Amino acid sequence: MADEQNQDIPLPDPVVGAETASGDELDARIQVLEEELALAQDKALRMAADLQNVRRRAEQDVEKAHKFALEKFANDLLPVIDSLERGLELSSPDDEAIKAVREGMELTLKLFSDTLKRHQLEAIDPHGAPFNAEHHQAMAMQESTNVEPNSVLKVFQKGYMLNGRLLRPAMVVVSKAPVQAPPSIDEQA
């Protein structure tokens, strides 16, 4: 019985079957084959498009990896530049005892800033500019009649962008309109 199951079953010869099939059956068979061919072509086009999308996404991922590879390293360097800037702010340019040290700090800060710019790391120093929530972090609000409301009055800490992407927001004080005292009520009326 096992031999009977393993025997090859002869398939009909397509040419012989075509002679005996009617024209309607052939037309139906052609229609089915054309539909299968259209589905196979559509599937092949979709697979090619998917492959192209995967390739494009991979290229974009590699480009972003190259572009933002310095992000962590740059974040670690920002406190160093902040310290140099604070040191210059707190030291007096008129003090002869520290004049040489101050000049060295200025040169180091300039060299450091130029190096950051070469690597597309740009400082955000928005003093006097309108507040931008995408690039600034408001630390406080202060009444001011000298500038428009919602303008940056003071910068606590500069922000930085790496290749157009925000690395650190600028920490700022934002102006607001002075509070108007309510009109007094005339008690004699």
What is the per-residue pLDDT across 117-159, written as a single tens digit (0 to 9) for each?
998 899 998 988 999 999 999 999 998 888 888 899 999 999 9
Mention every residue, 6+ apart, whose C-beta is less than 8 A from residue 70.
Answer: 119, 121, 162
Amino acid symbol at 62:
V
Q: Return the higher-pLDDT residue of 157 and 189.
A: 157
Which pTM value belongs to this model?
0.61
pLDDT tens digit sequence for 64-101:
887 778 888 889 999 999 999 999 999 888 888 899 99
71-176 to CATH, choices 3.90.1150.10, 3.40.50.1240, 3.30.70.270, 2.30.22.10: 2.30.22.10
Residue 177: the pLDDT is 83
- pLDDT of 47: 95
Per-residue pLDDT at 4 exceeds 90:
no
In sequence order, the β-bridge partners of residue 138 are 172
Q: b/e map of 16-36 (b: 16 or more CB within 10 Å)?
A: eeeeeeeeeeeeeeeeeeeee
- Tell me the domain boundaries of the chain: 16-67, 71-176
Q: Is the pLDDT of residue 6 over 80?
A: no
What b-and-e string marks burial along 159-180, b requiring 16 or more CB atoms within 10 Å of the CB?
A: bbbbeeeebbbbbbbbbeeeee
Between strands 152-157 and 170-176, the pairing is: antiparallel
